[in-house]
Structure 1
Amino acid sequence: MTRYIVAFDNTDDLIIEDPTLELDLRAEWAVFNDSAGLALAIPIDRIRSIQRLVDQAPVEEGGG
């Protein structure tokens, strides 16, 4: 699952989660798209940081 954490100044962080979520940084906007199209657009001047987290399949340890 792809997850983005958007940190804003003077407010709580926003967590956006979707298996097909993609981020497109434009001149004045951070645009999030999913398989259906535009999901969310945030003005860049409101954002302090964006962090992308991707869940990975657990690694199985061999035992023999």
Structure 2
Amino acid sequence: MKGAPYISKALGVTGLDALTRIMGFILICIAFQFVFDGLGGYLASERFMEPILEAISLNKA
């Protein structure tokens, strides 16, 4: 944090804008990864599969 003024002077306005966009993109990628991991865990769980398997077994009987 102490070096922020020096970094901002070195990068300039355009460099800071580019760095902000890159960091935002990385943050969005991490957020999507959390969502996909959560959905994948839920879809692979027994709580999700149990009603589907029951419906299949009822149709066969």
TM-score after normalising by structure 2:
0.25
Larger-Rg structure: 2
TM-score after normalising by structure 1:
0.25
Q: Which is bigger in relative contact order (C-alpha 8 A, separation at least 6)?
A: 1
Considering fraction of residues, name the structure with more strand: 1
Considering fraction of residues, name the structure with more helix: 2
